[in-house]
Amino acid sequence: MKRTHLKTALIGTAVAALAVTEPSLAAIDTSTATNYITTDGEVAITAVGTALIGLAGLAVVFRWIKGSIFG
């Protein structure tokens, strides 16, 4: 068998396998995982954002105190 025929046969087999397995992939329920990621993701992003804003405020206060002491 020539190389081009082998490639064509492999591509045809891969396409046929995808066509057969595609309907079984449509039945997966992802709502629970999506809700979990959304809820915990919002909490984590809020916590990180609050920490960063707190650190930025602390840096501003530190520079203000340092500037008032050392002129």
Tokens of 47: 């916590």
**Which of these ranges, 19-23, 32-36, 62-66, has the smallest mean pLDDT?**
19-23
Q: What ranges do the domains of the chain cover?
A: 3-70
List, for residues 5-22, the tens digit of each pLDDT value. Answer: 677 777 777 777 666 555
Q: What span, in angstroms and rounded, lies between the C-alpha atoms of 14 and 20?
A: 10
Q: Is the pLDDT of residue 25 over 80?
A: no
Q: Is the pLDDT of residue 34 over 90?
A: no
How many Cα atoms within 13 Å fall on the side-chain side of residue 5?
A: 2
Q: What span, in angstroms and rounded, lies between the C-alpha atoms of 70 and 61?
A: 14
Q: Considering the entire predicted model, what is its pTM?
A: 0.46
Tokens of 6: 């082998």
